[in-house]
Amino acid sequence: MELSTWQEVFQEKAKELGKRDTWTLLPSDSLQPSPGWIQYKQNTFARFHCTSCKRWWGSAQVHIHFHFKLSWGEGWVKMRVFKQQCKHCKAAKLEEPEFTRQNIEIVLTNLQQRIQIKCYGLKIDKNPVLTSIYSGDMKGPHDRDHCEACSMGVCKWRACGEGQRDQASARPAQKCTANRQDDGPFLPRIVPPSPPTHENPVLPQADWTPLIGVIALGAGLLLRLLFR
């Protein structure tokens, strides 16, 4: 890691703060949360060189953690850069990443803005974070098995879970609907027929007019026979 370049760019960014406070960058191989220290995490692009097989590879998931504080005119920044191993070598050592100066400036510019917000009360409606610049070829997904940050559980790819990430990348998100199953085809809604009702049926009314006429005629003939 180009420590002299980091120190040089860091002091340039410290002067740009426009304060009388002095700021010091302290590289560290182990960082633990401490009271009064503010944590800030970034990931950027860097290249690695295996000292055994001389292979080079690039990664856009190189994690850098910062802990900083300002006290009585003195500012301190602890920085830890996570390493990676060569996937082709057995028992490979953790290799230091090599950064371009441009990406170092991007990382420290983002850190400078965070210091302005947290230590000097700078108010920004939107917090624009500069993105790293990639150089060289990157083949395949992030190599989680050879990433120091992943092995410690601080890399976002390991934290989100291998199964969930692979499943999420395999298919797009689906909207939840009443007739949608998670992994099956869309099923149309089938409306069953209404069950028969058990109410009493309404019978049609009978026409009694002809019967009444017959009875009246019979009654008339009977009276004529009786009064002869």
Average pLDDT value over all residues in the chain? 77
- Max mean pLDDT range (30-34, 84-88, 160-164, 185-189): 84-88
Q: Is residue 227 part of a domain?
A: no
Name the band, by pLDDT with cuts 50, 70 and 90, for residue 200.
low
Q: Is residue 197 part of a domain?
A: no
Q: Is residue 130 part of a domain?
A: yes
Say if residue 25's pLDDT is above 80.
yes
DSSP state of 138: -
Q: Which element (helix H / strand E) includes 225? A: helix 209-226
Count of alpha carbons within 13 Å of 181, Cβ hemisphere only? Answer: 7
Q: Tell me the mean pLDDT in the region 106-114.
A: 95
Give the tens place of pLDDT for each residue, 82-107: 999 999 998 899 999 999 999 999 99
> Please, what sign has the CA dihedral across residues 13, 15, 18, 24?
positive
Q: Is residue 166 part of a domain?
A: no
| CB neighbourhood size of 167 (10 A) | 10
Q: Is residue 185 part of a domain?
A: no
CA gap 57, 76 in Å, rounded: 32
Q: Is residue 50 part of a domain?
A: yes
- Its pTM surpasses 0.75: no
Give the tens place of pLDDT for each residue, 119-143: 999 887 666 788 888 776 666 667 7
Number of folded domains that form the chain: 1
Q: Is residue 86 part of a domain?
A: yes
Say if residue 109's pLDDT is above 70.
yes
Q: Is residue 92 part of a domain?
A: yes
Residue 25 φ/ψ, nearest 5 degrees: -100, 125
With a CB cutoff of 8 Å and minimum separation 6, the contacts of 181 are 187
For 100, the domain range is 3-29+38-154
Q: Tell me the mean pLDDT in the region 179-203.
A: 43
Q: Which element (helix H / strand E) includes 112? A: helix 101-120
Say if residue 41's pLDDT is above 80.
yes
